[in-house]
């Protein structure tokens, strides 16, 4: 199973929005509504911020939103803040209790 | 509060074995699927293995036949037995709780280094 494709980097100024695409195939992203997103600060464990394409766990600000169209899922971070500077990974269920992650995107707040 | 604490990481020679443990607390362990996810230094996340609450096990292709995941519900414990280790298995290994087709809580990670 190949990793999902994400751009290596994305950036925006404070208050702006940034959108991170996550491209897979009909066997993963396109085949299931089970895309999740994780935020990882340097030296820390990942944190779940979106599950089932667009749902937010309790405590995650509504500045984080997810969507999907065909084989591409997207994470949008609105109203960028300094603490949003981190690595972001998408993940998709691929069947038979297997999962695949994206290649990761480093978000820089300018 | 959900807590996951990994232990057992360290340095091992190629071809050697290592056993990782994950101590869970703050939730009813037996209700949840549990997973191992790894991350090589400076690299992305990689799903390694999972075990359902019923005990069914699943593995990523490169570790199948070498790694064994298990759980002891009475001890609230998850284990990853790693045999025939290779240099490319070097990574931080995270224990994660299964949510709705997602990993909703993570441990702090255990570093495994395979080197002679």
The pLDDT tens digits for A59-70 are 999 999 999 999
- Residue whose C-alpha is closest to residue A100's, from B52, B35, B12, B95: B35
B28 exposed, middle or buried (CB, 10 Å; 0-12, 13-18, 19+)?
Answer: exposed
Residue of B nearest to A37 (CA): B102
Q: Do B100 and A34 touch (CB under 8 A)?
A: yes
The CA–CA distances, whole Å, from B47 to A20, B40, B54 equal 21, 12, 20
Q: Do B102 and A32 touch (CB under 8 A)?
A: no
Longest Cα–Cα distance in chain A: 41
- Residue whose C-alpha is closest to residue B60's, from A22, A98, A54: A98
In this predicted structure, the answer to whether residue B72 has a pLDDT above a threshold of 90 is: yes
In this predicted structure, the answer to whether residue A95 has a pLDDT above a threshold of 90 is: no
Distance, in Å, from the CA atom of A2 to the CA atom of A21, rounded to the nearest integer, reads 16
Distance, in Å, from the CA atom of B71 to the CA atom of B48, rounded to the nearest integer, reads 15
- Residue whose C-alpha is closest to residue B10's, from B93, B71, B75: B93
Chain A residues whose beta carbon lies within 8 Å of the beta carbon of residue B56:
97
- Residue whose C-alpha is closest to residue A92's, from A35, A25, A23, A33: A35
Distance, in Å, from the CA atom of A101 to the CA atom of B70, rounded to the nearest integer, reads 23
Chain A residues whose beta carbon lies within 8 Å of the beta carbon of residue B101:
32, 34, 36, 51-52, 93, 99
What's the CA dihedral at B60, B49, B8, B111 to 10 degrees?
60
Task: Classify B75 as helix, strand or coil.
Answer: helix
Distance, in Å, from the CA atom of A55 to the CA atom of A65, rounded to the nearest integer, reads 8
Residue A96's pLDDT band, with cuts at 50, 70 and 90, is confident
The backbone torsions φ and ψ at residue A82, rounded to the nearest 5 degrees and listed phi first, read: -55, -40
| Residue B110 to chain A, least CA–CA distance (Å) | 11
The pLDDT tens digits for A18-73 are 999 999 999 999 999 999 999 999 999 999 999 999 999 999 999 999 999 999 99
Residue B58's pLDDT band, with cuts at 50, 70 and 90, is very high
């Amino acid at each position: 199973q190949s990793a999902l494709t994400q751009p290596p980097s994305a950036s925006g100024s404070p208050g702006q929005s940034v959108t991170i695409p996550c491209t897979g195939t009909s066997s993963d992203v396109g085949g299931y509504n089970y895309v999740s997103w994780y935020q990882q600060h340097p030296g820390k464990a990942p944190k779940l911020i979106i599950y089932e394409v667009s749902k937010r766990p309790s405590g995650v600000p509504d500045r984080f939103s997810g969507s999907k169209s065909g084989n591409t899922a997207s994470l949008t971070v609105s109203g960028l803040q300094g603490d949003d500077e981190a690595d972001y990974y998408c993940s998709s269920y691929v069947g038979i209790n297997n999962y695949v992650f994206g290649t990761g995107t480093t978000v820089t707040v300018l | 509060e959900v807590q996951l604490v990994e232990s057992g990481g360290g340095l091992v020679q190629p071809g050697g074995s290592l056993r990782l443990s994950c101590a869970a607390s703050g939730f009813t362990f037996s209700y949840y699927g549990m997973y191992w996810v790894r991350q090589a230094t400076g690299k992305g996340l990689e799903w390694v293995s999972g075990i359902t609450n019923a005990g069914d096990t699943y593995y990523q292709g490169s570790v199948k036949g070498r790694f064994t995941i298990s759980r002891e519900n009475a001890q609230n414990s998850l284990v990853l037995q790693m045999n025939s280790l290779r240099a490319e298995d070097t990574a931080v290994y995270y224990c994660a709780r299964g949510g709705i087709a997602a990993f909703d809580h993570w441990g702090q990670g255990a570093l495994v280094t395979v080197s002679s």
